[in-house]
């Protein structure tokens, strides 16, 4: 029913509201949109006043013309839509029901009721469009951060061009308050960025030279320069836009069922209304056609499935918008539903619950001053690009007076070279054994990555390198247990000893390390053999893509995660915070709760008033409430999703 049209990067921002029968309405953001309803309402109130005071001239043809004119502004569009639907072969729509009911009311002389039904229907449409606009607000904010220009350094000058024309490797300048036009790395010493539209986090993010910056972020402090690393179509903001724009096309099972149900339910009610009109002739002694026709018209008005057709998709759309506001991108309403059923969570380690950035945890120099020891080690590590080498080179007291030479890499073991005239070995235990170097026994008990160092054939010490846990990792596991996610498993390609240590710190009972991508997939396939397990997998690497695809819900870390993982996943966490999974579950459950509240409300009220209408105990005014009134209540209930606050 609701559709955010696909947008190319240069296209204008367009929104449409589609009610499922081809009826579209724009956003009611100006007086013109409300004018038809205002005219009809004013004329209806004047007409009712003239009727009440029994004004002499307001009789016969003048009365009919007056109410006919009042009906025209709000009724003609609906009648026209009903006729267009019939021509397309879709007869039993709410437009058809409203048209028959209100025209029938005019035929039997119930002019005010006929105008009122159509007026309130039109008002309901205005409220609905306003609700859609509200629900789209958070998602539209993503469109608003789309960069429109890029200042690129070409021919010894900065020129303004479209972001789509910037090539990888070009230098781009960004001024204060401007948006980063493409993904890249920061060339300036540092920068402060507002990433709220991408991540949902209001706190500015400080980035150092050489670190990644993402398109759509806003530069908060000083003129900076970046080097583009991706084309615009592959940038983070373009990916987000594409995912959001396509999310509304994926309907939930509940939403699809309601629309299918409405197509079956509506014709049944039409034939029941015909029965209400004519069947009493055979069973009632004082049968009056006009009275039973009036009951049938009431029956038709009540039967309109507007509240269901409107509120269910709107509820899911509100859930998608609320999630986007919090830095969580669902690729469709169906995954909101799926997330509510998750009872088993399988997670990767590196980059998911850990930061994926190695840091020096411990330095132990034996017979050497620590700074002197690190000079020898860093000179050797400067000859390699290994992630562990990068961590070592971040040591704060780097020396500059030594230089490595004759450095060679020994496959699978480490490095050998000359520093300051001394022979230096840097690597693992196998390298030490191969060179008859005795190491301390305590190194055997260290589960983290360890770099052993020997200088002039003597063991000189070691450095322990470890990946840090994310700040919210432990509280995430606790919160998931409270939400009923009882089975939590960690699967990692890292060493099993490290995986087990991290799992123990997080209170995860089942953990397996040293796994290849196919091993992770096999573990999930085993879990899937139990039909009671509803599995979500959260990861960030290329090697996680097969498991993301196989899970009931695949969740990818969208900041540091690989493009393959993000494309494969069903849900993307823009902040790389595992605690967002908790928030995603809460938003999903709240969305489903509100959707079912609306379904029960709509059915409950309709059934009661249908029975009263068929028995002659309800007037057209009760019918209006059962149709438009309930729809308005359902819309207001769905809007609550935009106001809710969820703690991680």
Q: What is the 3-state secondary structure (H, E, C) of 309-354?
A: HHHHHHHHHHHHHHHHHCCEEECCHHHHHHHHCCCEEEECCCCCCE
Alpha-carbon torsion 450, 455, 458, 460, what sign?
A: negative
In whole angstroms, what is the distance from residue 616 CA to residue 76 CA?
29
DSSP codes joined into one string, 487-534: EEEEE-SS-HHHHHHHHHHTT-SEEE-S--HHHHHHHHHHHHTSTT--
Considering the candidates 337, 348, 540, 570, report the single residue annotated as catalytic. 348
**pLDDT computed for residue 506 by the predictor:** 92
CB 338 within 8 A of CB 553: yes
Spans of the chain below 50 pLDDT: 1-29, 142-143, 200, 202, 247-248
In whole angstroms, what is the distance from residue 309 CA to residue 97 CA?
14
In whole angstroms, what is the distance from residue 579 CA to residue 191 CA?
26
DSSP 468: E
Q: Is 471 helix (H, G, I), strand (E, B) or coil?
A: coil
What φ, ψ does residue 21 adopt, rounded to 5°? Answer: -125, 20
**pLDDT computed for residue 423 by the predictor:** 94
Picking from 623, 604, 19, the residue whose alpha carbon sits closest to that of residue 311 is: 19
**pLDDT computed for residue 400 by the predictor:** 59
Helices (H), 209-305: 236-247, 253-278, 289-303
In whole angstroms, what is the distance from residue 239 CA to residue 223 CA?
26
Q: What length does the chain have?
A: 648
DSSP codes joined into one string, 455-471: ETTEEEEEEEEEEEEPT
**pLDDT computed for residue 3 by the predictor:** 31
Q: Could you tell me the domains of the chain?
A: 2-142+245-324+588-643 (no CATH), 150-244 (2.70.150.10), 328-353+470-574 (3.40.50.1000), 356-469 (3.40.1110.10)
CB 24 within 8 A of CB 16: yes
In whole angstroms, what is the distance from residue 20 CA to residue 503 CA?
49
In whole angstroms, what is the distance from residue 187 CA to residue 403 CA?
27
Picking from 465, 467, 522, 447, the residue whose alpha carbon sits closest to that of residue 489 is: 522
**How far from chain centre, in Å, is Cα 525?**
26
Establish whether 348 is a catalytic residue.
yes
Q: How many CB atoms lie within 10 A of CB 321?
A: 24
In whole angstroms, what is the distance from residue 320 CA to residue 135 CA?
9
CB 553 within 8 A of CB 288: no
In whole angstroms, what is the distance from residue 352 CA to residue 473 CA?
9
**pLDDT computed for residue 399 by the predictor:** 59
In whole angstroms, what is the distance from residue 554 CA to residue 535 CA?
9
Helix axis angle, 111-144 relative to 306-325, nearest 10°? Answer: 20
**pLDDT computed for residue 639 by the predictor:** 76
CB 357 within 8 A of CB 450: no
CB 333 within 8 A of CB 315: no
Picking from 451, 352, 443, the residue whose alpha carbon sits closest to that of residue 393 is: 451
Q: How many CA atoms lie within 13 A of 446 on its CB side?
A: 21
């Amino acid at each position: 029913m609701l559709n955010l049209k696909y947008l190319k990067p240069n296209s204008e921002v367009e929104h449409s509201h589609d009610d499922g029968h081809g009826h579209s309405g724009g956003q009611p953001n100006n007086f013109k949109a409300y004018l038809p309803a205002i005219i009809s309402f004013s004329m209806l109130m004047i007409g009712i006043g003239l009727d009440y005071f029994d004004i002499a001239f307001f009789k016969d043809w003048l009365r009919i013309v007056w109410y006919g004119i009042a009906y025209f502004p709000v009724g003609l569009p609906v009648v026209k839509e009903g006729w267009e639907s019939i021509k397309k072969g879709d007869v039993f729509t709410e437009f058809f029901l409203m048209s028959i009911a209100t025209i029938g009311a005019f035929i039997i002389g119930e002019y005010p009721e006929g105008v009122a039904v159509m007026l309130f229907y039109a008002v309901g449409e205005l409220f609905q469009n306003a609700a859609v606009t509200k629900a789209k607000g958070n998602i539209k904010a993503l469109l608003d951060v789309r960069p429109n220009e890029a200042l690129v350094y070409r021919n010894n000058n900065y020129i303004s061009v479209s972001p789509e024309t910037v090539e990888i490797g070009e230098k781009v300048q960004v001024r204060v308050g401007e948006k980063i036009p493409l993904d890249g790395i920061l060339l300036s010493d540092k920068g402060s960025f507002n990433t709220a539209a991408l991540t949902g986090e209001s706190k500015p993010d400080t980035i150092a030279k050489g670190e990644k910056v993402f398109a759509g972020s806003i530069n908060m402090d000083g003129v900076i320069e970046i080097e583009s690393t991706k084309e615009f179509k592959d940038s983070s903001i373009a990916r987000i836009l594409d995912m959001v724009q396509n999310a509304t096309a994926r309907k939930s099972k509940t939403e699809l069922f309601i629309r299918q149900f409405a197509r079956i339910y509506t014709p049944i009610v039409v034939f029941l209304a015909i029965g209400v009109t004519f069947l009493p002739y055979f069973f009632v002694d004082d049968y009056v056609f006009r009275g039973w026709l009036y009951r049938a018209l009431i029956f038709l008005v009540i039967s309109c499935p507007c509240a269901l057709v409107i509120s269910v998709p709107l509820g899911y759309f509100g859930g998608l918008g609320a999630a986007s506001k919090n830095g969580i991108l669902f690729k469709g309403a169906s995954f909101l539903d799926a997330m509510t059923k998750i009872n088993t969570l399988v997670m990767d380690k590196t980059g998911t619950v850990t930061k994926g950035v190695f840091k020096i945890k411990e330095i132990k120099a034996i017979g050497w001053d620590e700074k002197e020891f690190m000079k020898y080690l860093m000179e050797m590590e400067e000859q390699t690009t290994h992630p562990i080498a990068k961590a070592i080179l971040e040591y704060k007291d780097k020396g500059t007076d030594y230089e490595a030479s004759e450095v060679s890499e020994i496959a699978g073991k480490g490095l050998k070279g000359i520093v300051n005239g001394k022979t230096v070995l840097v690597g693992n235990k196998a390298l030490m054994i191969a060179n008859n170097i005795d190491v301390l026994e305590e190194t055997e008990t260290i589960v983290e990555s360890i770099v052993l160092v020997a200088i002039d054939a003597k063991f000189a010490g070691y450095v322990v390198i470890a990946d840090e846990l994310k700040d919210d990792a432990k509280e995430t596991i606790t919160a998931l247990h409270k939400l009923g996610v009882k089975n939590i498993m960690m699967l990692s390609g890292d060493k099993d000893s490290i995986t087990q240590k991290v799992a123990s710190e997080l209170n995860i009972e089942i953990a397996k390390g040293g796994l290849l991508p196919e091993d992770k997939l096999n573990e999930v396939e085993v879990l899937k053999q139990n039909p009671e397990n509803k599995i979500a997998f959260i990861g960030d690497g290329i090697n996680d893509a097969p498991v993301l695809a196989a899970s009931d819900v695949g969740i990818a870390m969208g900041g540091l995660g690989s493009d393959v993982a993000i494309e494969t996943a069903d849900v993307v966490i823009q902040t790389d915070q595992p605690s967002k999974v908790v928030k995603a579950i809460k938003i999903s459950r709240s969305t489903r709760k509100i959707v079912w509240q609306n379904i029960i409300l709509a059915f409950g009220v309709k059934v009661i008033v249908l029975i009263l209408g068929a028995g002659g105990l309800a007037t057209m005014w009760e019918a209006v409430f059962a149709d438009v009134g309930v729809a308005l209540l359902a819309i207001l209930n769905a809007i609550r999703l935009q106001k809710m606050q969820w703690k991680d």
